[in-house]
Structure 1
Amino acid sequence: MHVIARQKAVNGKDTRSLEDYLEWKMGDFVKGMKAGSGRNLHPMLISVIERPLIARSLEQTNGNQIQAAALLGLNRNTLRKKIKDLNIPVKRKRAAQRREA
C-alpha cells in the first residue's frame, strides 16, 4: 500500500509522503552502514522502527491491544509478543480519564 505522494499539512505546507521521507532520511544512513560493518541492516532498521510504531499505536488506542493489533494488521498474540520482546509499557486509560482528555 502506498502512502499519498503529497499532502497538505494542517498548516497548509506541502509535506513529503512517509515513503519519501524515510527514503530521504535513510540515504546517508545506509551509506554509512555500508562503509562500516555493512551487515544486518534490515533487522536493525525494523527493530528501530517497530518499537515507536507499536508504542504510538497503543497510545492512539488508549492501550487497547486488540484495537492496536487491528490498526497494525497484526494478530493480537503477535502484538503481545512484540510488546514483551521490545519492553514497551502499556498504559490503559480508564473511561473517566478518556472523557477528560
Structure 2
Amino acid sequence: MSNMHIEECVRNSLTDYLRDLGESEPNGMYNMVVNVVEKPLLEVVMQHADNNQSKAAQWLGLNRNTLRKKLLEHKLIE
C-alpha cells in the first residue's frame, strides 16, 4: 500500500462526509480527522513495537513523553 492510497481514502471519506452534511456546515473537522487517524496509528505502531513506548516513539518521530500523553488521551494505556 502506498501513501497515495491512504491519501485517496482520506480524500474520499472527507468528500463523502461533506456531501452527507448537505446544507449543514462542518465544525471541528481538523480535530475530528486527527483523532480518527491518530488512534489507529498509535494502536498499530504500539502492537508492532511490542508495546515498547521508546521504540514506538522513535518510529513515529515523537518524544516518548509526547507518545505517552497521546496514548493516555486515546485511552490506550492507563
Provide TM-score, normalisation by structure 2: 0.81
* 1:44 maps to amino acid: M
Describe the shift of the 1:73–1:33 C-alpha distance in structure 2 as closer, same or farther (beyond 3 A): farther
- Which runs of 5 or more structure 1 residues have no equivalent in the other structure? 6-16, 91-101
Describe the shift of the 1:37–1:73 C-alpha distance in structure 2 as closer, same or farther (beyond 3 A): same
Deviation at 1:23, TM superposition (A): 1.2
Provide TM-score, normalisation by structure 1: 0.65
Alignment partner, residue 9 of structure 1:
none
Query: What's the Cα RMSD here?
Result: 2.2
Count how many residue pairs are aligned between Structure 1 and Structure 2. Answer: 77
Deviation at 1:69, TM superposition (A): 0.9
Deviation at 1:21, TM superposition (A): 2.2
- Which runs of 5 or more structure 2 residues have no equivalent in the other structure? none
* 2:57 maps to amino acid: A
More strand by share: 1
Structure whose alpha-carbon radius of gyration is higher: 1
CA distance in 2, matches of 1:74, 1:34: 38
What's the % identity of the aligned pairs?
29
